[in-house]
Amino acid sequence: MVTYQDIARHAGVSTATVSRVLSGVGGAVSDDLAQRVRDSADALGYRSNRAARALRRNTSDTIALIFPDVEQPFYATIARQVEERAASRGRPTVLCNTDEDLEREQDYIALMIEERVAGVVLAPSSEDVATVFPLLEAGIPVIAVDRRLDGDPVSSILTDNRAGAYELVADLLRHGHRRIAAITGTTVATPSRERLEGCRGAIAEVDGAELIVGEGKLRDAVGVENTMDLAGRLTAELLSSWADPPTALFCGNAVITQGVLRALRASRRRVPRDVAVVGFDDQPMFELLTPPLTVAAQPAEEIGARAADELFEHITDPGHAPAVTILPPELRFRASCGGRHRRRARDPQPEETREGSAGSAPATRQRHQ
């Protein structure tokens, strides 16, 4: 193993000079010496030792991702964006999946502190600020994505969940639906809470409209397959065990949507004839279903890109003030709520797609002092 010692001897300089040249910090070095150091490093086949650097600097270059589950495409996209930006700066990215388990979240946070990571992109499983205390205490910058924390102690970047859910339910109401069931995940975290608020807001504006909330039942959902199954089971219950079953379903995210659609297929129910369906989150295949699904698409790439950019700003400037960024979802009205877009499956027509943005475009940004 080649060390600074070896390079210093080879180039006839001190290890301090080697460090200044190869790490790029600690002051200027004359062009002459710098070149000699680089040549010696190349000649000897030097490879840096990041552990030694991290020990000395008391921080690594690593960026941590703490998410519920990278198997969910929404988080995979964010992970991809952050990782790409970190890599371009020579920073490794660590991946942690919490499955919405608060204890695992705490364990991962402790582990990341032991790793002295340079920063964390976190989709917290609750809005309890205590979650991030250890990180803030350790002086590690945190950006929340998809979710926020009480009082917004750190920057958050998320979709306008209320607006997206409101528009989806409003579309169901416009199509005449009055009994609408919302199937969402754990309501402890931001998305379910805000999306339900959006649903309720739309419902409240129409006389006789009613929202059936299938919340909570998915609280123990772990993993994509399991979540789909639980969503499907809940769907079956809702549609069969009520004297007056809902005529439309609001699905809280893409995984739930898939579980719901699978359950409807299994019980031979047709969309939208038997029951209308709208969903938060889009997926490439949702457009190819018969009928195509009406959804609110989240700007996942932009959330990831902004999270990375903002995290690097906080790393560079620890005094950087936290801000909450709320990005508008893209409403994609297709044919799954019935009426307007309905057509015979055997006679496909080009689908009308009304695309629009909900919420105050392009983004709401709140600065905190």
Partner DNA sequence: CTGAAAGCGCTTACAG
Q: Which residues bind a second copy (CB under 8 A)?
A: 1, 47-52, 54-55, 58, 60, 62, 65, 69-71, 73, 76-77, 79-80, 83-84, 87, 90, 92-97, 104, 108, 110-116, 228, 258, 261-262, 265, 268, 270, 283-290, 344-346, 348, 350
CA distance 32 to 37: 9
Which residue, 116 or 178, is less far from DNA as judged by CB?
Answer: 116
Give whichever of 22 and 212 is closer to DNA, judged by the CB atom. Answer: 22
With both helix axes pointing from N to C terminus, report the angle between 31-44 and 15-23 in degrees, rounded to the nearest 10: 90
Which residue from 4, 67, 74, 333 is in contact with DNA, where contact means CB under 7 A?
4
Nearer to DNA, 52 or 222 (CB): 52
Q: Which is nearer to a second copy, 61 or 194 (CB)?
A: 61
Measuring CA to CA, how many Å separate 327 from each of 22, 49, 153? 41, 40, 19
Q: Calculate the alpha carbon distances from 170 to 248, 292, 294 in Å.
A: 12, 18, 12
The number of beta carbons lying within 10 Å of the beta carbon of residue 262 is 15
Q: CB of residue 140 vs DNA: minimum separation in angstroms?
A: 16
Least Å distance, CB 363 to DNA, is: 36
Selected range binding DNA among 8-16, 164-172, 291-299, 350-358, rule: CB under 7 A: 8-16
Q: For the CA atoms of 130, 131, 134, 136, what is the dihedral angle to 10 degrees?
A: -90
Which among 203, 276, 207, 206 is positioned nearest to 239, based on CA atoms?
276
Specify the residue for token string 């105050």: 360
In the complex, least distance from residue 171 CB atom to a second copy, rounded to whole angstroms:
21
Q: Which does 79 bind (CB under 5 to 8 A by kind): DNA, a second copy, none?
A: a second copy
Question: What end-to-end distance do the CA atoms of the chain give, in Å?
Answer: 49
For the bound state, the minimum distance from the C-beta of residue 133 to a second copy, rounded and expressed in Å, comes to 13
Q: By the 8 A CB rule, do 286 and 261 touch?
A: no
| Binding partner of residue 69 among a second copy, DNA, none, CB cut-off 5 to 8 Å per kind | a second copy
Token digits of residue 310: 């903002």
- Looking at beta carbons only, is 58 or 349 nearer to DNA? 58
Binding partner of 32, given DNA, a second copy, none, CB within 5-8 angstroms per partner class: DNA
Q: 96 contacts which partner out of DNA, a second copy, none, CB within 5 to 8 A by kind?
A: a second copy
The answer for residues whose C-beta is within 8 angstroms of residue 37's C-beta and 6 or more apart is 7, 11, 13, 17, 18, 21, 22, 29
| Cα 206–chain centre separation | 32
Q: How far is the CB of 54 from a second copy (least distance, A)?
A: 4
Q: Is the peptide bond before 299 cis (omega within 30 degrees of 0)?
A: no
Cβ proximity to a second copy: between 168 and 263 the closer is: 263
For a second copy, the closer of residues 186 and 258 by Cβ is 258
Shortest distance (Å) from residue 90 CB to DNA? 12
User: Interface residues for DNA in 10-69 (CB under 7 A)?
Assistant: 12-20, 22-23, 25-30, 32-34, 46-49, 52-53, 55-58
Three-class SS state of 242: coil
Residue 91: which of 121, 68, 118, 131 has the closest Cα? 118
Which chain residues interact with DNA by CB under 7 A? 1, 3-4, 12-20, 22-23, 25-30, 32-34, 46-49, 52-53, 55-58
